[in-house]
């Protein structure tokens, strides 16, 4: 099988995140001294000997066998991400959504049941409601703040997967992942986490009972708003092999140039995150003091649902959080948003630039009812100077006020 992870010669587990992201998945000694890995554009991979070809066919060839399974650059990034999370294997996909689909399609069959967090990324919900339902897989949505005891009552003999996303990327409820994972494992249910918000640096999924960690690497790992990528990390070879069988037939492999850009993004992940985190906290604190603001949803604030779990289980936060204001006329909202100088409207997040997005959680919930009497907005604090970001927000609030 082409996904053997090479043993790293020295153990680096006791090193700090800044060191790990700059060190893992690089081998200048094998690249004529070049600091960064090569990019191999390949469909066909040639075998030198009949023995090599036979080894490939028997799944015993140590290198890539075909472009659809990625090449050397993929192996290095896979290894880096696996090591960062304390896992053993990674599969790289062409988007975060394809990474999520890969996992659910690989592990579920007709008659199976999934427990899905109600705050899940909405295309993941669509996957369950459309494809999986048509394939005879049933999904039950649960409150992100459910206790392990309550979760137990939802587990059925046919429940195969518990999916968590902590915090949710719109409403930011933090989940009791270790508690829920223990309840799931007691009934042989696999735990899948969408770990995009925390990145591999701020939440260690395997230590917290997760079996499969999924990332939209599009966000902070790539970090420059120019690449779509997903990653599926496991620490169990058997599970990896199961996922790989589906990876082979769906063909969601990430492209070599994108893998290179993701590698490059990874090198600065730790320092970028520190700045995103610092700015977002400052903006969140400012927002808390504005009279129009009803609530700030930032996992590091005590007022955030599940904050105690964030404090217990995470080593940091990032630039993404939400807040809500009293209901406003559409024109007032447009006056605020259309003239922002730095906070631009757009999907995705995790790049160097700041973003603002109005959203309505109501249509994408079924087990819980987020407050409807308000306007929700999500912010991504980019790498601009926080004083400029604050000024932009202040001016936006002034335009909102001028309307009321
Ligand atoms: C963006 C995102 C995804 C999907 O990633 P894409 O690369 O856009 O397909 C999945 N989960 C979360 C939490 C996300 O924010």
For 136-177, the pLDDT digits (tens) are: 999 999 999 999 999 999 999 999 999 999 999 999 999 999
Average pLDDT over residues 269-275: 98
Distance 92 CA to ligand 1 centre (A): 14
Please write the tens of the pLDDT for every residue from 169-178. Answer: 999 999 999 9
**What pTM did the predictor assign?**
0.96
Q: Which residues contact 197 (CB under 8 A, 6 or more apart)?
A: 165, 166, 167, 169, 318, 320
Pocket lining for ligand 1, CB < 6 angstroms? 95-97, 121, 165, 169, 194, 196, 216, 218-219, 228, 230, 348
**Tokens of residue 336, six digits:** 């605020």
User: Which atom belonging to ligand 1 lies closest to the Cα atom of 348?
Assistant: 1
Please write the tens of the pLDDT for every residue from 166-216. Answer: 999 999 999 999 999 999 999 999 999 999 999 999 999 999 999 999 999
pLDDT of residue 7: 43
pLDDT of residue 4: 41
pLDDT of residue 300: 98
pLDDT of residue 168: 98
pLDDT of residue 13: 64
**Ligand 1 mutation pick, 125, 219, 220, max ligand atoms within 8 A of CB:** 219
Name which residue sits closest to atom 2 of ligand 1, judged by CA. 216
pLDDT of residue 11: 55
What confidence tier does 14 reach under pLDDT thresholds 50, 70, 90?
confident
Distance 97 CA to ligand 1 centre (A): 6
pLDDT of residue 6: 44
Least confident of 31-35, 79-83, 103-107, 309-313: 31-35
User: Which atom belonging to ligand 1 lies closest to the Cα atom of 230?
Assistant: 7
Assess whether pLDDT exceeds 80 at residue 2. no
pLDDT of residue 268: 98
pLDDT of residue 403: 83
Distance 96 CA to ligand 1 centre (A): 5
Assess whether pLDDT exceeds 70 at residue 3. no
User: Which atom belonging to ligand 1 lies closest to the Cα atom of 196?
Assistant: 13
pLDDT of residue 1: 39
For the chain, the average pLDDT equals 95
pLDDT of residue 371: 86
Query: pLDDT over 90 for what percent of the chain?
Result: 93
User: Which atom belonging to ligand 1 lies closest to the Cα atom of 197?
Assistant: 13
Name which residue sits closest to atom 6 of ligand 1, judged by CA. 96
**Ligand 1 mutation pick, 128, 205, 218, max ligand atoms within 8 A of CB:** 218
Assess whether pLDDT exceeds 70 at residue 264. yes
Measured CA to CA in angstroms, residue 397 lies from 20, 70, 212, 332, 392 at distances of: 41, 48, 41, 10, 9
Task: Compute φ and ψ for 76, nearest 5 degrees.
Answer: -70, -45
Give the max Cα distance, the chain.
77
Distance 164 CA to ligand 1 centre (A): 14
- Show which residues are catalytic: 68, 121, 194, 219
Question: With contact defined as beta carbons under 8 Å apart, do 58 and 1 qualify?
Answer: no
């Amino acid at each position: 099988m082409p996904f053997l992870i090479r043993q790293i010669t020295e153990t680096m587990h006791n090193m700090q995140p800044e060191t790990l992201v700059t060190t893992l998945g690089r081998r200048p000694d094998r690249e004529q001294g070049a600091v960064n890995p090569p990019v191999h554009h390949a469909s066909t991979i040639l075998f030198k000997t009949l023995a090599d070809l036979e080894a490939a066919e028997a799944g015993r060839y140590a290198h890539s066998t075909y472009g659809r399974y990625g090449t050397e650059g993929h192996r290095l990034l896979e290894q880096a991400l696996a090591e960062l999370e304390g896992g053993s294997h990674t599969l790289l996909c062409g988007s975060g959504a394809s990474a999520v689909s890969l996992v659910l399609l690989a592990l579920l069959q007709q008659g199976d049941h999934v427990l899905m967090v109600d705050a899940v990324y909405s295309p993941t919900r669509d996957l369950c409601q459309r494809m999986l339902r048509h394939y005879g897989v049933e999904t039950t949505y649960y409150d992100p703040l459910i206790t392990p005891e309550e979760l137990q009552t939802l587990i059925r003999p046919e429940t195969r997967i518990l999916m968590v996303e902590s915090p949710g990327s719109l409403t930011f409820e933090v989940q009791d992942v270790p508690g829920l994972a223990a309840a799931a494992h007691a009934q042989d249910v696999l735990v899948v986490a969408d770990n995009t918000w925390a990145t591999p640096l701020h939440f260690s999924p395997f230590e917290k009972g997760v079996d499969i960690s999924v990332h939209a690497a599009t966000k902070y790992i790539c970090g420059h708003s120019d690449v779509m990528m997903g990653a599926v990390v496991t620490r169990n070879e058997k599970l990896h092999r199961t996922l790989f069988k589906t990876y082979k037939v769906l063909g969601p492999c990430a492209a070599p140039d994108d893998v290179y850009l993701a590698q490059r993004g990874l090198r600065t992940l730790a320092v970028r995150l520190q700045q995103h985190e610092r700015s977002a906290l400052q903006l969140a604190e400012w927002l808390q003091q504005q009279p129009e603001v009803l609530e700030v949803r930032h996992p590091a604030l005590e007022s955030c649902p599940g904050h105690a779990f964030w404090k217990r289980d995470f080593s940091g936060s990032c630039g993404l959080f939400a807040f809500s204001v009293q209901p406003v006329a559409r024109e007032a909202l447009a006056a605020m948003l259309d003239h922002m100088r730095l906070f631009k409207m757009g999907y995705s997040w995790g790049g160097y630039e700041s973003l603002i997005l109005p959203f309505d959680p109501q249509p994408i919930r079924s087990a819980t009812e987020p407050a409807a009497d308000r306007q929700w907005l999500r912010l991504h604090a980019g790498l601009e100077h926080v004083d400029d970001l604050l000024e932009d927000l202040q001016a936006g609030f002034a335009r909102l006020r001028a309307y009321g």
